[in-house]
Amino acid sequence: MGRLDPLFAQTKAEGRAALIGYLPAGFPTVDDSVELLRAMVDSGCDLVEVGLPYSDPVMDGPTIQAAAETALRSGFRLRDLFRVVEAVSSAGGRAVVMTYWNPVHRYGVDAFARDLAAAGGLGMITPDLIPDEAGDWIAASQAHDLDRIFLVAPSSSEERIALTTAASSGFVYATAVMGVTGARDAVGSAAEGLVARTRAHTTLPIGVGLGVRSGAQAAQVAGFADAVIVGSALVTSASSGVGAVRELATDLAEGVRKTPTTIG
C-alpha cells in the first residue's frame, strides 16, 4: 500500500488528473520556500515535490539550476529540507522530496528516510538513481514506509520500464521529453506514447513532467496521464512573488480538471 494511494484514489474518483508542483526548498530563502509551497497547496497542488538544492544538477535546465544556486548561496543546509517538509505536512499538504542521490548517500540512506518520514514526507523522487543501484533505498523506504518514485524516459526499453515500474510505488514519473527540465511551448509528443508503453507494465498512476507551464498544457497532459508535474514554470513565477505562484497554480489546477476523463 503506497502512501500516495489515497491521493490517486481521490483524483480518480473525481475523474481528473492530480496536479504536482515542484519548488526547491530554500528558494529564495527557507522561510520563503515554506510560504510558496503552502501557497501551491492552497491553490490546488494535490502534491508538492520539495526539491533539495544541489551543486551539480545535471538533469536541470537553467531555471532550476539558478534556483538551486540561489538557495545554496543564501545558506541552505540539508537539515532545512526536513523543516520545509514538516511545515508543508503540518499545514495539511502532501509532500515528497525530489533529490539527486549524493546528498542522500552522504547523509546516510536509512537516516535520510527516517528523518523524511518523521517530517511527514510521503516518498522520494530520485532523478539520478535507477532501481539497479537502489538496494539501500528500497530497504530504507520499506523500513520507513515511504514511496519510491523512479523515472522512465522515452529512451527506456520495455525491459527497463518493466524493471523500473516494478521497483516503484506511489506513482511512476514519466519524463515527457529527452532533455533537461524547463518550460516548453509544447510538451513532447513522446509523452503520450511513453505513458501508453508504461501502462502496459503497471497499474501504478503515471505522472508526466518536464515542460508543462500553463493550464492549457496541463489539460492536454491530463488527457493521458494520472498526474501533471510542473516545475520550472512555478520556479519562474516564484521570482515574482507568492501572488504569481498562486495565480499559476490556480490556472494549472483548473487545467487538470478541464479534461473529461473516462471513468473506469
230 near 20, Cβ under 8 Å? yes
- Angle at which helix 158-167 crosses helix 190-199, to 10 degrees, equals 70
Least distance from other proteins to the Cβ atom of residue 155, Å: 4
CB of 246 to other proteins, least distance (A): 30
* DSSP 8-state symbol, 132: G
Query: Which of 46, 60, 115, 147 is labelled catalytic?
Result: 60
The single residue of 46, 49, 80, 226 carrying the catalytic annotation is 49
**Residue 3 corresponds to which amino acid?**
R
Place of cell 544541489: 54
Q: Which is nearer to other proteins, 15 or 62 (CB)?
A: 62
Q: Is 60 a catalytic residue?
A: yes
Query: Who contacts 186 (Cβ-Cβ below 8 Å, separation ≥6)?
Result: 211
Dihedral of CA atoms 38, 41, 47, 48 in degrees, nearest 10, equals -30
Strand segments, DSSP code E, in 110-209 are 123-125, 147-149, 151-152, 172-175, 206-209
Contact status: 160 vs other proteins (CB under 8 A): yes
φ, ψ for residue 59, nearest 5 deg: -90, 0
* Contacts to other proteins from residues 83-102, by CB under 8 A: 101-102
- Rounding to the nearest 10 degrees, give the CA dihedral for residues 217, 54, 37, 176: 20
Q: How far is the CB of 85 from other proteins (least distance, A)?
A: 16
- Residue 58 engages other proteins in binding (rule: CB under 8 A): yes
CA distance 157 to 198: 10
Residue 49 is among the residues annotated as catalytic for this protein: yes
Q: Residue 151 CB, nearest distance to other proteins (Å)?
A: 5
Residue 227 binding other proteins, by CB under 8 A: no
| Contact pick of 44, 51, 93, 127 for other proteins (by CB under 8 A) | 127
Binding flag, residue 129, other proteins (CB under 8 A): yes
Residue 19: its H or E element: strand 18-24
Window of 7-15, 31-39, 64-72, 221-229 that interacts with other proteins by CB under 8 A: 64-72
Count of residues engaged in binding other proteins, rule: CB under 8 A: 40
Residues of the shown chain interacting with other proteins in the complex, contacts defined by CB under 8 A: 54-59, 61-62, 65, 69, 72, 77-78, 101-107, 127-130, 132-133, 150-157, 160, 164, 175, 178-180
Instruction: Give catalytic residue positions.
Output: 49, 60
